[in-house]
């Protein structure tokens, strides 16, 4: 990880919600334990509920105890840490709230605003912050510190609403002040895609249409919609997972190497991939049996909880190579995995028992839960003859680096935002391009199949239709990461 940023006020809107308790304060606590938060950093929670500072601290302590990577008993920091946490009740659309906020924010003079409220409130909060002088026009001189805003997903509901939100933001803030969060980009193993590709010489020459047969990106979840039925039934899997996480993973796999690791250089390359995505997308969408009976779900809902897409990146590197993306709730396992399947050898001189085919080389990036990298290749089976067998060469983070060393995504992203590094955050154009791909797929589903959804059994890998999507069945979905 990096060096310590300047001290700042972290102001969390939506502070009585789950995200603050489960992710944000635990991440700040762990950063502090690791000595990465500078002395004097303060956390101010804002929400509508009336809570005392002590009440808010108690709530956040429970979160830190349950969810922090480094818990209070490991680093013994809480008694001091808690003194820097405070709370202010406020109504988000009332200028009076922001007047009081100004009075509360004395030193340090750097402010990181975190929008963790329901997304419908983002425009109001942005506008009020801007009008109260916290936006681009609020900085009178260079000594008055920085102001940055982190915005949680979902960023818009479709392309049009995302554009509208971007316009609203740009009325009051400059783009460089905005950090649109995608927690997948904060995952260590996701960042390792860049290291694997651009710090090694052996993969990149093969990383193109001449050697790659296809790419698969799987984000499977075992859980259903849990307590988020109200949100999820309106969103569905394409808005919840594809528009952000899966598209970002695709961009990291497909992008050209930037010349420096720097926010705009990185995001320029990702944007070029999104611009090259072919608008025609084949898709399968489905809903798990029992979804309609879950809390907060419309009993006639046609919202998909699973989707598989076939995408093409129409550029010199990738022309003709399908990228298969799939994600769903209530699947057989919790796993995020990216598989690069290479082409077969042009001619095989060895006999294959039974006359079949040999398994091609597959490089699997295991993003979670057993973080690592696997490479499948052929070896000679010991003994007489020349029979071959596919074996796996594996790297596991835990083996090489030890347990509990992988930072939580929010630790990394909060620290980056404090340091002014937006490399792992989405830019306005990137968000809109991702919507431009996903929006038509959602609309097509609503038009054609939404009235007659496909269903799948919980605990499986989704509907059979998804197998057919893979080139009529000659390719198959891969499960090469641990846990299968």
- Of 59 and 330, nearer to ligand BG6 (C-beta) is 330
C-alpha 172, offset from chain centre: 26
**Checking DSSP bridges between strand 322-328 and strand 306-312, what pairing results, if any?**
antiparallel
Minimum CB–partner distance for residue 240 and ligand BG6 (Å): 5
Whole-angstrom distance, CA of residue 467 vs CA of residue 457:
15
Minimum CB–partner distance for residue 356 and ligand BG6 (Å): 36
Q: How far is CA 297 from CA 172, 234, 443, 458, 460, in A?
A: 37, 9, 20, 17, 21
Give the 3-state DSSP-derived string for 9-73, with helices as H, strands as E and coil as C: EEEEECCCCHHHHHHHHHHHHHHHHCCCCCCCCEEEEEECCCCCHHHHHHHHHHHHHHHCCCCHH
| Closest of 141, 143, 115, 144 to residue 129, by C-alpha | 115
- Of 240 and 480, nearer to ligand BG6 (C-beta) is 240
Minimum CB–partner distance for residue 64 and ligand BG6 (Å): 19
| Closest of 10, 22, 81 to residue 46, by C-alpha | 10
- Of 155 and 312, nearer to ligand BG6 (C-beta) is 155
Minimum CB–partner distance for residue 244 and ligand BG6 (Å): 7
Should residue 408 be labelled a site residue for ligand BG6 when binding is judged by CB under 6 A?
A: no
Residue from 152, 233, 240, 310 in contact with ligand BG6 (CB under 6 A): 240
Please provide the distance, in angstroms rounded to a whole number, between the alpha carbons at the two ends of the chain: 32
- Of 27 and 321, nearer to ligand BG6 (C-beta) is 27
- Of 231 and 455, nearer to ligand BG6 (C-beta) is 231
Site string for ligand BG6, 311-340 (x = CB under 6 A): -------------------------x----
| Closest of 21, 116, 15, 24 to residue 410, by C-alpha | 24
Residue sitting closest to ligand BG6 (CB): 240
Residue from 84, 117, 189, 221 in contact with ligand BG6 (CB under 6 A): 221
Minimum CB–partner distance for residue 468 and ligand BG6 (Å): 26
- Of 189 and 336, nearer to ligand BG6 (C-beta) is 336
Whole-angstrom distance, CA of residue 16 vs CA of residue 48:
8
Residues catalogued as catalytic: 245
| Closest of 461, 392, 483 to residue 216, by C-alpha | 461
Site string for ligand BG6, 109-148 (x = CB under 6 A): ----------------------------------------
Give the 3-state DSSP-derived string for 337-356, with helices as H, strands as E and coil as C: EEEEEECCCCCCCCCCHHHC
Cα atoms found within 13 Å of the Cα of residue 345, Cβ hemisphere only: 9
Taken in order 353, 355, 361, 367, is the CA torsion positive or negative? negative
- Of 221 and 480, nearer to ligand BG6 (C-beta) is 221
Whole-angstrom distance, CA of residue 373 vs CA of residue 20:
32
Residues that bind ligand BG6 (CB under 6 A): 221, 240, 336
């Amino acid at each position: 990880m990096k060096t310590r940023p300047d001290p700042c006020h972290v102001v969390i809107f939506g502070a009585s919600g789950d995200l603050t308790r489960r992710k944000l304060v635990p991440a700040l606590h762990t950063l502090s334990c690791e000595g990465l938060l500078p002395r004097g950093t303060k956390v101010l929670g804002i929400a509508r509920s009336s809570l005392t500072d002590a009440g808010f601290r108690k709530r956040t302590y429970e979160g830190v105890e349950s969810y922090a990577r480094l818990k209070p008993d490991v680093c013994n920091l809480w008694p001091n840490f808690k003194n820097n946490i405070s709370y202010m009740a406020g109504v988000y659309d009332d200028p009076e709230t922001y007047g009081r906020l100004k009075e509360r924010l004395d030193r340090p003079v750097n402010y990181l605003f975190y929008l963790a409220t329901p997304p419908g409130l983002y425009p109001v909060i942005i506008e009020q912050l801007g009008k109260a002088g916290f936006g681009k026009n609020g900085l009178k001189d260079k000594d008055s510190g920085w102001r940055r805003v982190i915005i949680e997903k979902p960023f818009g509901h479709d392309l049009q609403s995302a554009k509208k939100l971007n316009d609203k933001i740009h009325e009051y803030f400059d783009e460089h002040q905005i950090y649109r969060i995608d927690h997948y980009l904060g995952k260590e193993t996701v960042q390792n895609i860049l290291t694997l590709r651009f710090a090694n010489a052996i993969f990149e020459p093969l990383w193109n249409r001449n050697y790659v047969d296809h790419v698969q990106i799987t984000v499977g979840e075992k859980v259903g919609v849990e307590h988020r039925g109200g949100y999820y039934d309106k969103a569905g899997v394409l808005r919840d997972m594809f528009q952000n996480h899966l598209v970002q993973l695709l961009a990291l796999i497909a992008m050209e190497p930037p010349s420096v690791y720097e926010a705009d250089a990185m995001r320029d390359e990702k944007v070029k991939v999104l611009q090259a995505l072919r608008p025609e997308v084949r898709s399968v969408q489905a809903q798990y049996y029992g979804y309609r009976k879950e809390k907060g779900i419309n009993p006639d809902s046609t919202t998909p909880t699973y989707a598989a897409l076939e995408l093409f990146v129409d550029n010199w590197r990738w022309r003709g190579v399908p990228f298969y993306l799939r994600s769903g709730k209530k699947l057989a396992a919790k796993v995020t995995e990216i598989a690069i399947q290479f082409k077969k050898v042009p001619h095989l001189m060895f006999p294959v028992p039974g006359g079949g085919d040999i398994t091609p080389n597959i490089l699997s990036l295991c993003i979670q839960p057993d973080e690592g990298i696997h490479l499948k290749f052929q070896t000679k089976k010991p003994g007489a003859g020349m029979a071959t067998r596919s074996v796996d060469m594996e790297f596991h983070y835990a083996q090489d680096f030890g347990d509990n060393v992988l930072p939580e995504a929010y630790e990394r992203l909060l620290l980056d935002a404090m340091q002014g590094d937006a490399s792992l955050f989405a830019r306005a154009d990137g968000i809109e391009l991702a919507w431009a791909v996903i929006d038509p797929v959602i609309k097509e589903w609503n038009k054609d199949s939404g009235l007659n959804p496909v269903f799948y059994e919980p605990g499986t890998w989704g509907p059979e239709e998804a197998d057919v999507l893979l080139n009529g069945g000659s390719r198959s979905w891969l499960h090469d990461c641990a846990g299968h």
